[in-house]
Amino acid sequence: MSKPPVIARVESIRRQRTLARRADVAGFGFWSSKDVVFSFRPAEDDSGVRFFRSDLPKAEPIPALVYYRIAKPRQTSLALGNAQVDMVEHALAALKGAGIDNCDIVVDAPEAPGMDGSGAPFFDAFLEAGIVEQKREKPRLKVVVEGEFIDESSTNGAKIVARPREDGQTVFRYDLRYDVPGAIPNQTATFVWNRNPLDFRREIATCRTFLSYEEATYLREQGICERVGTKDVLVFGKDGPIDNSPRFDNECARHKILDMIGDFSLTSFDLEGEFWATKTGHQQNAKALLRALENIA
Ligand SMILES: [Zn+2]
């Protein structure tokens, strides 16, 4: 049985932020193949990030909080009532990376635009629109006693260790270990983040989602992801990415950190500490966050 970290509320070190004006990102959903516009709008202090399904007029806004997450393989989906929005993790990571806390996202289809499989198209739209500081402070949580989350339901040893940091930084580390010859090579990435959005842009935002050729073939056979090609995301064959070249040697591990930043943003707090993940995915990120939020000292 894993012992969760102890988390404590600490003094805020920054004001909340929102967009200066509307930023629209248009594309199609990787899973659903549906055209979609994600329209990011400025929002009030303390309103957080919320999704508004404009194609479902009576739908309630869905808060971007872990309590509204529903289990869906290989992505982060949120739902409330009859409204649902899928694959929101890269847009959420880009918001967190840009330091945007309050944002109304008006969406006209049930899935985020996949773009190039990274967070960069969202991040760049936010920077172009501009980001403004608001009045209220952003609440902050800090890891004060080391602990870990081990996914008891997984057989591959997936875990996340959380440790205190005395320098006030937030550090993510991801160990990617498939341990299968000819598959995506084992790799590690570390991101030391002092919350400078440009560091996030340079180190993490551009790293794309990835899958093996076998997985891609399987999804195609199921009639899913029909609009996504080998040029759109990283599809790994025996000799590396097909029709594509990696942006970093460890782009996959960096992408996993992008996913962690998106999934760990599903709370109204900034998180300070070191988060070291091995072999985890969206489901474990969400469970670990929930466990941590249950253990606030
Ligand atoms: Zn991802």
pLDDT digits (tens, 9 = 90+) for 220-242: 888 888 888 888 889 988 888 89
The first and second tokens of residue 55, run together, are 């194609």
What spacing in Å lies between the alpha carbon of 96 and ligand 1's midpoint?
A: 14
User: For the domain bounded by 6-293, which CATH number is listed?
Assistant: 3.30.230.20
pLDDT of residue 212: 87
With pLDDT > 90 as the criterion, what percentage of the chain qualifies? 76
How far does the centroid of ligand 1 lie from the alpha carbon of residue 5, in Å? 25
Query: Confidence class of residue 1 from pLDDT cuts 50, 70 and 90?
Result: low
The alpha carbon of 181 and the centre of ligand 1 are apart by a number of angstroms equal to 23
Question: d(Cα 161, Cα 163) in Å, to the nearest integer?
Answer: 7
Structure confidence at residue 66 (pLDDT): 98
pTM of the model: 0.96
Distance of alpha carbon 261 from alpha carbon 85, whole angstroms: 18
Active-site positions?
282
**Does residue 150 carry a pLDDT above 70?**
yes
% of the chain exceeding 70 in pLDDT: 99
Average pLDDT over every residue of 134-156: 91
Calculate how far, in angstroms, residue 135's C-alpha sits from the geometric centre of ligand 1.
Answer: 32
Domain residue ranges of the chain, discontinuous segments joined by +: 6-293
Dump pLDDT digits (tens) for 71-90.
998 999 999 999 999 999 99
pLDDT reading at 183 higher than 80: no
Residue whose structure tokens are 């960096």: 254
Mean per-residue pLDDT, 24-53:
97
